[in-house]
């Protein structure tokens, strides 16, 4: 499956062209193609073989040729040439908020700065201010941006981590020296950002298993190698650690490497109290020195006198105490979700028709789907004005008569404007089944102003949901400065629901805030915010956040059957 590689190279090309100041539409073509390839349900290699790339919208002759080249050789000449021309760190600088291609070019040309470290030094020494278009504030903003970037550098979003882990696992499963293989670490606990991949492999012939691992084509550099471990750097700049263990030590090892460390330490304390020593690869009965190899993680928890704790909860946030007391949550599952309440169609910036979305939702087994396009102020997203919204409502009525087995709800993602108002008046919002409100502008306003904007939306009787409530974009943008406690209190008071947005780089609310919301009595909705059909598959990411947040089915409104859901939505208006 080379879809990821093609998409990675194309978006890199787009970044480099941007730095070079190339034609905007050419850059957009590469970005669009990168997205199209990464969203393909089928394998790009198969499409190359059957010469069916031309059927994909946004892929013309030139890009088709490049895709073929990448599939066959792992790269393309154009990309390699660009890499020689544009220093890699300049591309990295695009990730610094407030720093765009023009300013990067100026900094490069005037000061010959080619690394993030040099950029940071120059900013600290006040050498950036004074360059054309850069003053004190921009310089300070760059320093702040670098600090954020450093915190997430080398970390990957869940889809990347999962893609790589699945690729590795499927390769290893067919290797004769490998018995079992399982992912551990942060990824198994479904953290929002993953620093390193931890893969546990069981084998009776570890040297052969290691040799098999070394044939993984993505390995760029071997950083550490001994009899049973291999630490490598992969071609996407990501570190992976392989742990080869004896078959009987497999599950204790998976448990140990899943962590997290605090969870493990606390379990160790409990184990000691029960006469056990919890080791990296086994459990030792201290009294007689007997070595035990539990055959599953369930057995490990059972020996310690508690029910199984799912990896998502293993953070030492009270799960062990809850387990001992028999008060662990009955964690929500993906199968509990009965519909998606935040989806964009091609009426605004989505890719698909409402009918296509409804049919796909039905295929997923949903009972309902809400179409929530952007409102008029969000011009770039072709936000709907009143007239188009009313037309959309009429269309949805007709589609509901035509399509069996799924109910389409009329909704809107109404902008919370910079001036505190909503983008539509109440008499418009009143006509909708569901109203989602969110901020798309003025992120840098002060805490008081931002909080007031959200509170105004919450106190509006027609606003059911606040979407992506903190506005963070993982690896790109910090959450905006908002008094989240005030937001939670107002939401609880008014029966306003807060969203866990499942887009992998949002995951907003995050696990901690979603748990806090539950504790305050705020209901949650898990939505994808999908802009294309494949985006509906992102629901799992939001469910993982909810599981990490200790949420149960009852805490989440889109686990309800349609009549109950509608009743909950209408409750706000009373």
Partner DNA sequence: GCTGTTATCAGCCCGGCGCTCTAGCGCCG
Contact (Cβ atoms closer than 8 angstroms) between residue 451 and residue 486: yes
Q: Which is nearer to DNA, 100 or 307 (CB)?
A: 100
CB of 351 to DNA, least distance (A): 10
Q: Which stretch binds DNA (CB under 7 A): 207-215, 235-243, 279-287, 435-443?
A: 435-443
Question: DSSP letter string over 453-502?
Answer: HHHHHHHSTT--EE-STT--BTTTBPPP---HHHHHHHHHHHT-EEEEE-
Question: Is the N-terminal amide bond of 260 cis, ω within 30° of 0?
Answer: yes
Contact (Cβ atoms closer than 8 angstroms) between residue 396 and residue 354: yes
The residue written with tokens 């005030």 in the block is: 486
285 is a site residue for DNA (CB under 7 A) = no
147 is a site residue for DNA (CB under 7 A) = no
Site string for DNA, 193-232 (x = CB under 7 A): ----------------------------------------
Q: Which stretch binds DNA (CB under 7 A): 95-103, 214-222, 261-269, 488-496?
A: 95-103
354 is a site residue for DNA (CB under 7 A) = no
Contact (Cβ atoms closer than 8 angstroms) between residue 282 and residue 303: no
379 is a site residue for DNA (CB under 7 A) = yes
Q: Which is nearer to DNA, 164 or 457 (CB)?
A: 457
Q: Which two tokens stand for residue 113?
A: 């700065």
CB of 24 to DNA, least distance (A): 8
137 is a site residue for DNA (CB under 7 A) = yes
Closest CA to 105 of 144, 78, 131, 143: 131
Contact (Cβ atoms closer than 8 angstroms) between residue 222 and residue 214: yes
Q: Which stretch binds DNA (CB under 7 A): 126-134, 166-174, 212-220, 493-501?
A: 126-134
Q: Which two tokens stand for residue 161?
A: 């981590």
Q: Which stretch binds DNA (CB under 7 A): 100-108, 198-206, 292-300, 352-360?
A: 100-108
Q: How many angstroms separate the CA atoms of 132 and 104, rounded?
A: 11
141 is a site residue for DNA (CB under 7 A) = yes
71 is a site residue for DNA (CB under 7 A) = no
Phi, psi of 137 (to 5 degrees): -65, -45
Q: How many angstroms separate the CA atoms of 440 and 417, rounded?
A: 8
Question: DSSP letter string over 119-142?
Answer: HHHHHHTT-SBTBTT--HHHHHHH
CB of 103 to DNA, least distance (A): 3
Question: DSSP letter string over 48-85?
Answer: HHTT-GGGSTT--HHHHHHHHHHHHHSS-HHHHHHHHH
125 is a site residue for DNA (CB under 7 A) = no
Q: What contacts 312, CB < 8 A, 6 or more positions away?
A: 189, 190, 331, 544, 547, 548
**Helix or strand (DSSP H, E) at 340:** strand 339-343
Q: What share of the chain is helix, strand, coil (3-state, %, to 5)?
A: 50, 15, 35
Q: Which stretch binds DNA (CB under 7 A): 129-137, 186-194, 236-244, 402-410?
A: 129-137
Residues 14-53 that bind DNA (CB under 7 A): 23, 25-26, 28-30, 33
Contact (Cβ atoms closer than 8 angstroms) between residue 443 and residue 480: yes
SS3 of 561, please? coil
Q: Which stretch binds DNA (CB under 7 A): 42-50, 241-249, 375-383, 506-514?
A: 375-383
Q: Which is nearer to DNA, 103 or 155 (CB)?
A: 103
Q: CA 117, 119, 121 angle in degrees (round to 5)?
A: 70
CB of 138 to DNA, least distance (A): 4
Q: Which two tokens stand for residue 40?
A: 């393909």
Chosen residue from 34, 63, 454, 507 binding DNA by CB under 7 A: 63
CB of 349 to DNA, least distance (A): 6
Chosen residue from 35, 188, 342, 440 binding DNA by CB under 7 A: 440
Residues 244-273 that bind DNA (CB under 7 A): none
CB of 542 to DNA, least distance (A): 19
CB of 464 to DNA, least distance (A): 20
Contact (Cβ atoms closer than 8 angstroms) between residue 11 and residue 3: no
Ramachandran sector of residue 424 (left: φ over 0; alpha: ψ -120 to 50; beta: rest):
beta
Q: Which stretch binds DNA (CB under 7 A): 98-106, 326-334, 486-494, 508-516?
A: 98-106
Q: Which stretch binds DNA (CB under 7 A): 60-68, 83-91, 198-206, 249-257?
A: 60-68
79 is a site residue for DNA (CB under 7 A) = no
Site string for DNA, 457-476 (x = CB under 7 A): ----------------x--x
Closest CA to 337 of 507, 563, 561: 561
Q: Which 8-state DSSP code applies to residue 192?
A: S
Q: Which is nearer to DNA, 129 or 553 (CB)?
A: 129
Chosen residue from 104, 278, 422, 457 binding DNA by CB under 7 A: 104
Q: Which is nearer to DNA, 92 or 167 (CB)?
A: 92
In the complex, the residues that contact DNA under the rule CB under 7 A are 23, 25-26, 28-30, 33, 57-64, 78, 97-104, 129, 132-139, 141, 349, 378-382, 418, 440-445, 473, 476-477
């Amino acid at each position: 499956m080379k879809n990821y590689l093609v998409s990675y190279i194309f978006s890199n090309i787009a970044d480099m062209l941007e730095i070079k100041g190339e034609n905007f539409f050419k850059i957009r073509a590469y970005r669009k193609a990168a997205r199209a390839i990464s969203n393909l349900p089928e394998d790009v290699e198969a499409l190359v073989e059957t010469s069916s790339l031309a059927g994909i919208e946004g892929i013309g002759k030139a890009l088709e040729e490049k895709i073929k080249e990448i599939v066959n050789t792992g790269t393309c000449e154009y990309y390699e040439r660009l890499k020689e021309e544009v220093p890699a760190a300049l591309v990295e600088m695009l990730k610094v908020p407030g720093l765009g291609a023009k300013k990067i070019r100026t900094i490069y040309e005037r000061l010959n700065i080619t690394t993030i470290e040099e950029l940071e030094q120059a900013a600290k020494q006040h050498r950036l201010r004074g360059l054309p278009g850069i003053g004190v504030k921009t310089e300070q903003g760059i320093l702040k941006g670098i600090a954020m970037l450093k915190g997430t550098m080398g970390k990957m979003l869940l889809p990347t981590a999962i893609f790589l882990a699945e690729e590795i696992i499927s390769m290893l499963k067919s290797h004769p020296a490998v018995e079992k293989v399982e992912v551990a670490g942060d990824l198994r606990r479904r953290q929002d950002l993953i620093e390193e991949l931890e893969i546990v492999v069981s084998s009776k012939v570890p040297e052969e298993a290691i040799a098999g691992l070394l044939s993984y084509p993505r390995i760029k550099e071997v950083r550490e190698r001994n009899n049973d471990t291999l630490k490598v750097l992969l071609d996407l700049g990501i570190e992976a650690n392989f742990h080869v263990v004896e078959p009987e030590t497999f599950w204790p090892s998976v448990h140990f490497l899943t962590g997290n460390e605090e969870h493990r330490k606390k379990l160790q304390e409990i184990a000691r109290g029960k006469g056990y020593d919890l080791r990296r690869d086994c459990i030792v009965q201290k009294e007689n020195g007997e070595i035990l190899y539990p055959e599953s993680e369930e057995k490990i928890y059972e020996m310690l006198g508690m029910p199984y704790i799912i990896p998502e909860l293993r953070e030492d946030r009270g799960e062990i105490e809850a387990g001992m007391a028999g008060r662990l949550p009955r964690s929500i599952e993906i199968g509990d979700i009965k519909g998606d309440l935040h989806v964009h169609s091609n009426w605004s910036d989505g890719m698909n028709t409402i009918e296509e979305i409804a049919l796909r939702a039905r295929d997923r087994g949903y009972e309902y789907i809400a179409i929530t396009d952007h409102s008029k102020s969000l011009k770039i997203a072709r936000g709907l004005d009143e007239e188009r919204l009313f037309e959309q409502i009429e269309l949805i009525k007709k589609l509901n008569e035509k399509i069996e087995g799924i109910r389409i709800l009329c909704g809107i993602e109404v902008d919370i404007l910079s001036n505190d108002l909503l983008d539509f008046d109440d008499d418009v919002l009143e006509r909708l089944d569901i109203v989602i409100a969110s901020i798309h502008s003025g992120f840098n306003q002060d805490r008081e102003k931002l909080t007031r904007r959200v509170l105004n939306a919450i106190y509006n009787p027609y606003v059911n949901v606040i979407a992506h409530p903190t506005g963070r974009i993982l690896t790109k943008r910090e959450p905006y400065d908002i008094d989240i406690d005030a937001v939670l209190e107002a939401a609880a008071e008014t029966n306003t629901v807060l969203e866990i947005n499942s887009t992998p780089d949002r995951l907003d609310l995050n696990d901690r805030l979603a748990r806090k919301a539950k504790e305050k009595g705020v209901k949650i909705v898990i939505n994808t915010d999908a802009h294309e059909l494949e985006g509906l598959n992102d629901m799992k990411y939001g469910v993982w956040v909810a599981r990490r947040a200790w949420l149960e089915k009852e805490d989440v409104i889109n686990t309800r059957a349609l009549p109950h859901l509608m009743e909950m939505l209408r409750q706000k208006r009373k």
